[in-house]
Structure 1
Amino acid sequence: MREAVLERRIVPGSKLPSSRALAADLGVSRNTVLYAYEQLAAEGYVETRVGAGTYVVDSLVSGMPAGGRGRRPGGGRRKLSSLGVRLARDGSLGLGDQRREATRYEFRFAGAGHEQETLNAWARLVGRRARSLSRAPTGYQRPGGSSELREALAGYLARARGLTCRPEQIVVTQGSQQGIDLCLRLLVDAGDRVVIEEPHYAGYGSCLRACGASVLHVPVDAAGMQVELVAGLEHAKVVCVTPSHQFPTGGVMPLSRRLRLLDWARQHGTVVLEDDYDGEFRHEGRPIECLHSLDPEQQVIYLGTASRMLFPALRIGWAVVPEDLVEACQRLKAIADRDTSSLEQLVLADFIGGGWLERHVRRARKRYAVRRAAFLEGLGRELGSRAELAGASAGTHALLRLPELPASRFADLRQACRERGVGIYSAAQCYARPPDCVELLAGYASLEEPDIAVGVRKLREALDSLGAISQTP
């Protein structure tokens, strides 16, 4: 009846059938018709006139063209903001190619393995918090996050990453991606120059293109961003780096480069955005202290995440911001989504306070080291010199380069792998200028060692099935 009124098949002022007559005609209960008329009256379609019946409202103006509610052309005439135009035109913005392969041997770089003991501890803490909820924790938190979690994080970061800050400097976010977005929106206007690594985490590229920044790509090598190439750049508002484990190539920035980068940033008034997404997981020696720990002048904004340490479904990250940016960052967070899930924040605070997080990290580091060894052994056995590997000294993934296979054949390789139960993911989205051969972001953390061996063998079989021809002379 709504559509009939809007399409003028029932014109304004028309009298509707009585509830008894319509119920008999449709073969339904009279109460059903009465409820429908009451709802139409509540929504302003009809009015009941005492002693006269139910009528379509006389003053109703149709907002629909003839022909019903079907989708119609003409949406292109809408006026979008400059951001909306960029999002509509650039299909690479946003999620990118994040489709999970439904396969047995899943080499997904964002995956993580979990011990049952850790999951059981988390479940107990969730239950305990849920049973003891009072009105305060169930209300809105401050945009910066729960005070309990910020205090726990400040202690953890000092112990684990050598980072000293006041709890009030921490802004809790919905994962590190929101932290990236908030910081860039806070600091960057359209046309501002921003320096990022090449290759880089695709989330930075998406945010920067969305805000219309002028992006300067600085190449990386085995030691991360080539900071000496930054020296000649001027008027850069922000420089974005992953110094503890460059994403995706895995380089670890040495102290000399870190100090040189900080000195350059101080001289030019540039903010350094440090993404420490998995700095806890280093397999050769102790974890490197973060860049923020070398910065007494608060040029660095530090980003971290629980998603990589624990499990991706836990959408909690944090930004440690300079004192003068705290209020502005919290207000921007409030505009975005007011606050992060209160219950999960409180559970994570308990998880850190009870020592569970550091125990989990120690166990996970050992577990990932064993899986890394299985991955390296499998690659050496199955692919040998056919594959080039970077970034395996830390983290939970490596960059796997296959020189014999042109980049244009990645889809063929993915299909051949899928047919063998193997999930693979391209690194092409991490490049401003994609590589000429296939490069894979190969995560091994979520696979048991036997599955890693089988998965690598099946990857080799898939590569063999393509009859790849080497591009090297």
Structure 2
Amino acid sequence: MAGSLHQQLRAAILDGRLAAGAALPSSRTLSIELKVARNTVVTAYDLLVAEGYVMPRRGAKAVVADVRGRAMRKPDAPLPVEDARLAPFWRTPFMPSMATRELPERSFRLGVGDHRHFPHALWRRLTAQTLQAFSKQPFRYAPSEGLPPLRAAIAQHVAFARAVACTADDVIVTSGAQQAFDLLARLLVTPGKTRVAVENPGYPSLRAAFAAVGAELVPMRVDDEGLCVECLGDNDVDIVMVTPSHQSPTGAALSLRRRMALLDYARSRNAVIIEDDYDGEFRFGGRPLDALQTLDRDGIVFYVGTFSKSLFPALRKGFIVAPPWARAPLAQVKQCVDSHSDAITQSVLAAFIRDGHMARHVRKMRGIYAERRAALFAGLEAMDRWLDPIPSEAGMHTAARLRDPGGADRFFRLMREHAPGAQSIAEYAMAPLAEPAVVFGYGVIDADEISARLASLKRALESVAR
């Protein structure tokens, strides 16, 4: 009993509930209140005195000592920006932490697919089969670059779905696309020297991976044809990062003309291209444009893919298709930062792809997303007084420019109320944008609710316009 009381009192002192200088009740008073023996309280007090948490006073009540130096800093306490123990880059965070937004389950949030249509029972069965096989094998560490069956399955998948020419040896399995960007940044960037062209607006986490290793970021304008390759001009960059299939976040596709121009630019300057095939599998128009990696004849394109959108984000599986000259060095980088891969999930994913389940799932979801996309465009068309949709033929989101930039603040206020999850494109920008725009995701919201939400937003806009 004395030990329990001692621990409770010590915890109250450390977290500030008993402040420094506060007088403790007498042992007699506390024993009566707690209905314990007085000796129990005396023993607990004596322990606190011995440890320095309490200061005894002759002829008076004992008081709480000042032990703030002993108390551990709370995990959420902000670190000093100028703390010399931190590397300079992290003293001013490149990506300020964003407060988690509370959104309804069915909303316009970006980057997440619909769990209701995933073949959970099939995935469980494949997982059970994998675990059964795993139980019969000796424990071992899986290779850092990924399990051979998964690397082969990914090579087969991207060849079929995106006409990417590669073999299993060209594939490095990563923990999502974000680790892929981190590995490539470590491989390709010389701190303080390497210049990297990035889309503006663009994917913040991609920029962060390269900024963190000391690259100089050069923002490049994006229009209805994707990255403005002409704007590269004489910028003399070493790396160009681009989302050509479905630009993040505008949704524009890089035109064939610009794809060829970008390859010419990189070839003439001995630069490399990092192709993030964002949402490339969900295409709703005609024949998809060839991936840059497919058009590349000079080994200058690193192709990055992920299963977070086509399957589910908790899977944490992505990959890099590397040109031959970079395969071995990239494998070394992967081994340094992530010396072994997870065998079980990779085995399940390999079977899911190999047995045709991946292709069937993507085909089914493409039909579901096409219906939602049509509802979204219909709703945007009805709101053409306020919004001008940006052409898009792929992905799980669509963007639109505001026709009245002066009314942007009012529009975004009403958008947050009537179209939860939709975002301003400015949230993706690293430099000021010429035109305000909004992006709507349709991965987790049904077509009828898309129509209802946009109709509600339209009524709200009409109301304030009167």
TM-score band w.r.t. shorter chain: 0.7 to 0.9
Q: 1:423 is paired with a residue of what secondary structure?
A: coil
Deviates more, 1:261-270 or 1:129-138: 129-138
Cα drift, residue 174 of structure 1? 1.0
Cα distance change on mapping 1:335 and 1:135 into 2, 3 Å = farther
2:87 equivalent to 1:88: no
In the TM superposition, what are the counterparts of 1:266-345 in structure 2 within 5 Å? 266-345=267-346
One-letter code aligned to 1:89: T
Matched residue, 1:212: 214
Change (3 A) 1:459 1:408: closer
CA distance in 1, matches of 2:333, 2:203: 23
* Among candidates 419, 425, 449, match of residue 427 of structure 1: 425
Matches for 1:189-228 after TM superposition, within 5 Å: 189-191=190-192, 192-228=194-230
C-alpha contact 1:104 1:421 (8 A) present in aligned 2: no
Query: Aligned partners of 2:379, 2:338: CA distance in 1, in Å?
Result: 45
Structure 2 partner of 1:365: 366
**Cα deviation code 1:244-299 (max 9, x no counterpart):** 22222222223332222212212211011000021111111123221101113211
Matched, 1:442 2:447: no
Aligned-pair Cα RMSD in Å:
3.5
Deviations 1:18-46 (A, max 9, x none): xxxxx99548xxxxx9xxx9xxxxxxx9x
For the Cα contact (< 8 Å) 2:141–2:341, is it kept in 1? no
Question: 1:62-81 counterparts in 2 under 5 A?
Answer: 68-71=70-73, 76=80, 78-81=83-86
Q: Check 1:215–1:404 CA distance in 2 against 1; reply closer, same or farther (3 A cut).
A: same
Q: Secondary structure at the match of 1:365?
A: helix
Equivalent residues in 2 for 1:214-253, closer than 5 Å: 214-234=216-236, 236-253=237-254
Residues in 1 aligned to 2:405 and 2:268: alpha-carbon distance in whole angstroms: 44
Offset of residue 204 of structure 1: 2.4
Question: Which is worse superposed, 447-456 or 336-345?
Answer: 336-345
Task: State the 1:404 CA deviation.
Answer: 3.1
- Provide the C-alpha distance between the structure 1 equivalents of 2:326 and 2:137, rounded to a whole number of angstroms: 27
Partner of 1:402: 402
Q: Distance in 1 between matches of 2:78 and 2:252?
A: 50
CA 1:330–1:100: 2 relative to 1, 3 Å: farther
Aligned to 1:111: 112
Q: In the TM superposition, what whole-angstrom CA distance separates every residue of 1:129-176 from its partner, at most 9, and x where no partner exists?
A: 123224658642111111110011111111111112221221111111
Contact 1:417 1:458 in 2 (8 A): no
Unaligned runs of 5+ in 2: 1-5, 15-36, 52-65
Which secondary structure does the structure 1 equivalent of 2:304 belong to?
Answer: strand
The within-5 A match list for 1:180-195 is: 180-191=181-192, 192-195=194-197
Equivalent pair of 2:150/2:346 in contact (CA under 8 Å): yes
- 1:187: Cα distance to partner? 0.5
Aligned-partner Cα distance in 2 for 1:372–1:318: 28
Shift of 1:436: 6.0
Change (3 A) 1:75 1:288: closer
Distance 2:40 2:90 in 1: 48
**1:16 is matched with which residue?**
none
TM-score (normalised: structure 2)? 0.79
Corresponding residue of 1:457: 455
Q: What percent identity do the matched residue pairs reach?
A: 33
1:181-200, CA deviations, whole angstroms, 9 ceiling, x for partnerless residues?
A: 21112111222211122222
Residue aligning to 2:170? 169
Query: 1:418: Cα distance to partner?
Result: 5.0
Distance 1:420 1:68, change over 3 A: same
The 1:260–1:135 alpha-carbon spacing in structure 2 relative to 1, beyond 3 Å, is: farther
- The 8 Å contact of residues 129 and 343 in structure 1, kept in 2 or not, is answered as yes
Paired residues of 2:423 and 2:438 also in contact (CA < 8 A): yes
Equivalents in 2 of 1:137, 1:457: separation in Å? 60
Inter-partner Cα distance in structure 2 for 1:301 and 1:121: 32
Partner of 2:22 in structure 1? none
AA at the equivalent of 1:456:
L
Measured after TM superposition, the shift of residue 111 of structure 1 is: 2.0
Are the aligned partners of 2:302 and 2:323 in contact in 1 as well (CA < 8 Å)? yes
Q: Distance in 1 between matches of 2:444 and 2:109?
A: 8
Give SS of 2:423's match: coil
Q: CA deviation at 1:75?
A: 6.2
Q: Distance in 2 between matches of 1:171 and 1:137?
A: 24
1:52-73 per-residue CA deviation (whole Å, 9 max, x = no partner) reads xxxxxxxxxxxx9775315499
Measured in 1, the distance between the counterparts of 2:165 and 2:319 equals 14
Whether contact under 8 Å (2:250, 2:425) holds in the other structure is no
**Number of matched pairs:** 415
Letter in 2 for 1:197: E
> Alpha carbons of 1:120 and 1:291: their partners in 2 closer, same or farther (altered >3 Å)?
same
In 2 relative to 1, CA 393–97 (structure 1 residues): closer, same or farther, beyond 3 Å? farther
Q: Judge which range, 358-367 or 107-116, deviates more.
A: 107-116
What is the distance in 2 between the residues matched to 1:105 and 1:156?
Answer: 30
Q: How far has the Cα of 1:311 moved from its partner?
A: 1.5
- Is structure 2 residue 118 aligned with structure 1 residue 122? no
Match of 2:401, SS state, is strand
Structure 1's 164 and 67: CA in aligned 2 closer, same or farther, altered over 3 A?
closer
